[in-house]
Amino acid sequence: MSDDTTADQVSSLRAVAHPLRLRILSLLTGTAMSAAEVARELGVTHANASYHLRVLAEAGELVEAGEEKIRGGVAKRYRHPWDDVRSGRRTPTRPRTRSVEDLVLYVRAMGEEMVRRVAHRKQGKRSWFSDAEMWVEPEVWDRAVELVMEASRLVHAEARPPRTEGAVHVALSAVAFQLQDER
């Protein structure tokens, strides 16, 4: 693996290891948006949204989706590359080799974002919470991981722009991995 590849992997993972950037990635899975639109939707400043969009784009986590003229200026629009992955025009860019330290950063950001999401959970609607550390047969584990991946692909593939009529606002966070024996 080249030094450039390693640097790109670290840059990509660290780019998403931030709660606001995780929110932006989720938001842009279903639509392309400008920094101003992201700022309004997430309740952050335009400068903050613009900065985080640039970080994600530089890391290859977002792609430019064109420009539009707004009040005498030009605004870039960004989107999640999921449509390219789904259509086969692009393969997923998430690196397979990650350091424990980088994964810890990412999981911490996920944890912070999960706390925010749970605080905004719609009461009385169907939800599922599960946490487990246990021993199962390898075939059971393989099937469980496939089901988690299938659920993730399904919601990503069907993501709609924010506040689309008839769509519901949902959260799906999943982490599944095999553990080393601690002895």
DSSP string, 141-182: HHHHHHHHHHHHHHHHHT---TT-TT-----------PPPP-
pLDDT at 82: 72
Model confidence at 5: pLDDT above 60: no
19 is in which domain, residue-wise? 3-123
Asked if the structure places residue 71 within a domain, the reply is yes
Asked if the structure places residue 54 within a domain, the reply is yes
Asked if the structure places residue 181 within a domain, the reply is no
Sign of CA dihedral 138, 173, 21, 30: positive
Asked if the structure places residue 162 within a domain, the reply is no
Compute the average pLDDT of residues 156-160: 91
Count the neighbouring beta carbons within 10 Å of the beta carbon of residue 8. Answer: 15
Asked if the structure places residue 114 within a domain, the reply is yes
Phi, psi of 89 (to 5 degrees): -75, -15
Number of domains in the chain: 1
Q: How confident is the model at residue 55 (pLDDT cuts 50, 70, 90)?
A: very high
Task: List, for residues 16-37, the tens digit of each pLDDT value.
Answer: 889 999 999 999 998 999 999 9
CATH of the domain at 46: 1.10.10.10
Asked if the structure places residue 11 within a domain, the reply is yes
Asked if the structure places residue 143 within a domain, the reply is no
Asked if the structure places residue 137 within a domain, the reply is no
Q: Give the residue carrying structure tokens 């609607």.
A: 125
Residues 147 and 30: their CA atoms lie apart, in Å, by: 22
pLDDT, averaged across the chain: 86
pLDDT at 98: 65
